[in-house]
Structure 1
Amino acid sequence: MSIPAPRTVAPSAHDIALKSAISKAARHLMPMLVILYFVAFLDRTNVGFAQAALKADRGVGDAAFALGAGIFFIGYALFEVPSNLLLKRFGARFWLARISITWGIVAAAFAFTTDDVMFNVLRFLLGVTEAGLFPGVIMFLSEWFPNKVRVQMFAIFYLAQPFSQMIGAPLSGGLISFGDSLGFARGWQVMFFGEGLLAVIAGIAALFLLTNSPAKAKFLSDEEKLALSNAMAVEDRARTEDGPSGIWRAMANWKVWYFTVIYFALQIAVYGTTFYLPQEVAGLLGKKVGWEVGLVSAIPWLVGLFACYYLGKAAHTVARRRNWGSLLYIGTGVFILGSAWAGANNQPLLGIVFITLAVASFLTVGPITWAYPTAFLTGAAAAAGIGLINSLGNLGGFVAPLMRTAFNDALPTKSGEWGVVSLGVFAFLAAAMVFATKFFKGAKSDELLEAEELTPVH
């Protein structure tokens, strides 16, 4: 007696159209979004390459630099929610382009810095003009991609961070070295002006390459538009049942504040490490900041690029997101503490290894973290809630350099390891909070996530 072959269910025309629409949307939208964030991250962190030169040429001391590095996030936090609401009103295509063009102008103006006051004013204005880019893209992606593949899209978007440091670190160091050889300008001036101009060009390109919604996408067929629009409508209904409705209810929702604390802890690790990475690498290598330090500083971001993409692709269930998220936050804390130990004990190779693993961990956990709020926020509530999480969470970028400096001043050592240690502690708090989501009441969006049959996009 022959054994019958197992029955297989052929995919429906709707499923085929939906998967085709998602693949096309990823190919058409993600490159431009990655470029926007690439330039944004480059312009907000390239100040680390100019620290020594600004101190020598313009008298910007360590305290003023720490304030300027962090005050970016004050302007960013104040205008984040209003910017996100305006994006909802005017559409992502226009508003993301506006953000990029205006922050590019401010970023280029750093080339004309005269003293610490102007430096701090420009850092504040950079935060004001860039406000809304990151949460706007997060909200934009949550309106384009179903939950099953959304973490993967977030992970692709996050690739801009390692790209900006892999390419941007040598680029910044190279522009400084090149500028110094010109004679008519300082290297740091060439770096600021050139990288600011990139943002202006990227903003102009966004006007032509982004599309506000699946219904308006010329690159989708009618069947693909309908399939993707219907899939997102189903998720919107689930999110409406799970989450708050309206702006003020979203901003008062306890889950929004819960994930704000988690994101705040993450940003302390991210910016406390990123702002000082060139100086840390230079100290470990015994070199001046320049081309060589820029190349070595790119290594952590290269490793982080692969970790971010592949783990983001794997985290497509509720349990996987929780488990990976908890482990990666623990790893972030452990590896930051390890880098402090290596610096204190004159172990440059181990220091680079620990920094590399720390960067890979906090890069990878970011997209996973954003999967939680986008699963229960939609519409105006998403604009307000996502904006609030990102704006207040990013204040970790303001706290981190000040906290690191304060610990180093209170407990002075040659390598400044206590300032580094202070950054890692918050990651353990975030790990506990992500793990505690296991005890949250089951949600409609979680049930939908587990039931979906979409395969990850390749």
Structure 2
Amino acid sequence: MSTGTLDTPLIANTSSDADTRSTYKTIAFRLLPVLFICYFFNYLDRTNIGIAQLQLKSDLGFSDAAYGLGAGLFYVGFILFEIPSTLMLDKLGARKTLLRIMVCWGLVTCLTAFMRTPAEFYIARILLGCAEAGFLPGIVLYLSYWFPAQRRGRITAMFFIAIPMSGIFGSPLSGWIMQNFQAYMGMHGWQWMFILEGLPSIIMGVVAYSLLADRPEKAKWLTPSQKAIVADALSAEHRNKSDRSHSSLWSVLRDPRVYVISYVMFASFICANTLTFWTPTIIRNSGIAEILNVGFLAAIPPFMGIIGMLIVGWHSDRKMERRLHTVVPVLCAAIGLALLPEFRNDPIMSIVLLSMVATGHYSSLPTIFSMPSSYMTGGGAAAGIALITTLGSIGGAVAPSLLGLIKDLSGSFDLGFQIYAGVITLGALMLMVFVPGKLLGEKARSIN
């Protein structure tokens, strides 16, 4: 981000608290609905393979290991292009970047309906990752152009609600499509699901290009005084973190704390993809047979995640504390995973524990993603967010494929859940030990 934009207010700022609240409310109402819908369909298209596998594995003869490998291969393309795509957003702007990502993403999702072999499945997932690369870290970076740190946690949480919402509405929608479109025009239900859920992503890419502004100073819907409020707030934040900031990719790469935060993200992605790609299977194995019922029950854990995310995001901003607001939810998710094997045949307890994992995972996302921009600026913030997401995504690549392999070899998910619980717990401990609160500009040592 240009420091000139930050340090030079557009007009003298004599705003009141009411003016400030009104300005950020205007920005939130303008940006968040568009970004939310984009991420809803983005995440839905990434994860609908989780419920599609209930049909396509038998239709195409895929094993659990083949399915798990394909689910994880998404992150190959994602990892390769995550940093370049995010840096391009910083240079070219959000509008062009979102248009490219959403249109390519939707096309690949639609074409996935026509795969027939494991090799075609693997290629489709890799291409999907290439198309999606840069979306999430790019949006987190984009929000930092508009909202200062003390508002960013709750705003990021509101954006991230799209993830559990895609589970709440996406899973039942996917189940309904698969059940009601089965054999329509000679195609399987899962094929129609990919087509009907891929088209909205293409549409939203065009909508985002039309409605968003790349930076506050380019927003025609903000008054000069509102632009000054944003510029002054970001300028003050920039000055406050100048003694601890990174402003280049090289400085980010040399910081060992970036890799600690990346490991926490790695653990978070393990939670995410265990939930995303295996929740329908876990629920069905607990004794629920009907696909539509599986879809509705799979919506319960993300619904609980929304509540936790909003509470933690709000409280983290109020206390200006990020580490404990990350560690406590992450440990809750680890406990939920560790206990799942004990209740594998109990539908109620399986849903309760999956909800515990979901709440812990989703609640930690806003605080983890708030950390890089708390002490990085400009290109360093873009690089840092992208690097942390990229390295964390390795967990996304490993989690579903390893769990599928363990399931094929041992006949159950038990060992995989226990390993993942240990990995996640280690991440929580590393964050508290190696990332000081002062680095993140924390003003409180307690979450009470």
TM-score (norm 1): 0.90
Residues 1:375 and 2:374 are matched in the alignment: yes
- Within 5 A, what are the aligned runs for 1:210-225? 210-225=212-227
Q: State how far apart, in whole Å, the 1-side matches of 2:392 and 2:239 are.
A: 27
Q: 1:446 pairs with 418, 425, 441, which one?
A: 441
One-letter identity of the residue aligned with 2:382: A
Residues 1:296 and 2:297 are matched in the alignment: yes
Q: By how many angstroms is 1:236 displaced?
A: 2.1
* Identical-pair percentage: 33
For the structure 1 residues 339 and 441, does the alpha-carbon distance in structure 2 shift closer, same or farther, using more than 3 Å as the test?
Answer: closer
- Within 5 A, what are the aligned runs for 1:118-137? 118-137=120-139
On the 8 A contact 1:108/1:196 being kept in 2, the answer is yes
Q: State how far apart, in whole Å, the 1-side matches of 2:394 and 2:293 are.
A: 32
Q: 2:229 pairs with 217, 227, 230, which one?
A: 227
Q: State how far apart, in whole Å, the 2-side matches of 1:300 and 1:226 are.
A: 42
Q: By how many angstroms is 1:433 displaced?
A: 2.3
- Within 5 A, what are the aligned runs for 1:66-215? 66-180=68-182, 182-215=184-217
1:395 counterpart residue number? 394
> Residues 328-362 of structure 1: CA distance to partner in whole angstroms, max 9, x if unpaired?
1110100111222110xx22211111111110111
Q: By how many angstroms is 1:401 displaced?
A: 1.5
Question: Which shows bigger deviation, 163-172 or 205-214?
Answer: 205-214
Q: By how many angstroms is 1:12 displaced?
A: 6.2
Considering only aligned residues, what root-mean-square deviation do their CA atoms show, in Å?
A: 1.9
2:310 counterpart residue number? 309
- Within 5 A, what are the aligned runs for 1:208-357? 208-288=210-290, 290-316=291-317, 320-343=321-344, 346-357=345-356
Q: 2:415 pairs with 413, 418, 423, which one?
A: 418
Aligned partner of residue 72 in structure 1, secondary structure: helix
One-letter identity of the residue aligned with 1:335: G
Structure 1: state its 5+ residue gaps.
1-10, 451-458
- Structure 1 stretches of at least 4 aligned residues deviating more than 6 Å after TM superposition: none
Question: Which shows bigger deviation, 178-187 or 77-86?
Answer: 178-187
On the 8 A contact 2:64/2:407 being kept in 1, the answer is no
For the structure 1 residues 321 and 245, does the alpha-carbon distance in structure 2 shift closer, same or farther, using more than 3 Å as the test?
Answer: closer
Structure 2: state its 5+ residue gaps.
1-12
1:385 counterpart residue number? 384
> Residues 174-221 of structure 1: CA distance to partner in whole angstroms, max 9, x if unpaired?
110121152421101100011111110111110112111111112221
On the 8 A contact 1:70/1:399 being kept in 2, the answer is yes
Q: State how far apart, in whole Å, the 2-side matches of 1:424 and 1:270 are.
A: 13
Aligned partner of residue 145 in structure 2, secondary structure: helix
Q: State how far apart, in whole Å, the 1-side matches of 2:374 and 2:187 are.
A: 50
Question: Which shows bigger deviation, 15-24 or 146-155?
Answer: 15-24
On the 8 A contact 1:340/1:420 being kept in 2, the answer is yes
Q: State how far apart, in whole Å, the 2-side matches of 1:350 and 1:37 are.
A: 30
Q: State how far apart, in whole Å, the 2-side matches of 1:122 and 1:221 are.
A: 45
> Residues 385-414 of structure 1: CA distance to partner in whole angstroms, max 9, x if unpaired?
11111011011011102222343345x24x
Q: Max radius of gyration: which structure? A: 1
Q: State how far apart, in whole Å, the 2-side matches of 1:324 and 1:87 are.
A: 29
On the 8 A contact 2:109/2:195 being kept in 1, the answer is yes
Q: State how far apart, in whole Å, the 2-side matches of 1:330 and 1:137 are.
A: 27
Question: Which shows bigger deviation, 322-331 or 381-390?
Answer: 322-331
Q: State how far apart, in whole Å, the 1-side matches of 2:161 and 2:146 are.
A: 19
One-letter identity of the residue aligned with 2:361: F
Residues 1:433 and 2:435 are matched in the alignment: no
Q: State how far apart, in whole Å, the 1-side matches of 2:207 and 2:43 are.
A: 18
On the 8 A contact 1:304/1:360 being kept in 2, the answer is yes
Q: State how far apart, in whole Å, the 1-side matches of 2:253 and 2:210 are.
A: 33
Q: State how far apart, in whole Å, the 2-side matches of 1:323 and 1:383 are.
A: 24
Q: State how far apart, in whole Å, the 1-side matches of 2:200 and 2:93 are.
A: 23
Residue-pair matches, total: 432
Aligned partner of residue 84 in structure 2, secondary structure: helix
On the 8 A contact 1:58/1:113 being kept in 2, the answer is no
Q: By how many angstroms is 1:89 displaced?
A: 1.3
Q: State how far apart, in whole Å, the 2-side matches of 1:107 and 1:93 are.
A: 21
Q: State how far apart, in whole Å, the 2-side matches of 1:378 and 1:119 are.
A: 39
> Residues 20-48 of structure 1: CA distance to partner in whole angstroms, max 9, x if unpaired?
21111111101111111111111111111
1:358 counterpart residue number? 357
One-letter identity of the residue aligned with 2:430: M
Aligned partner of residue 395 in structure 1, secondary structure: helix
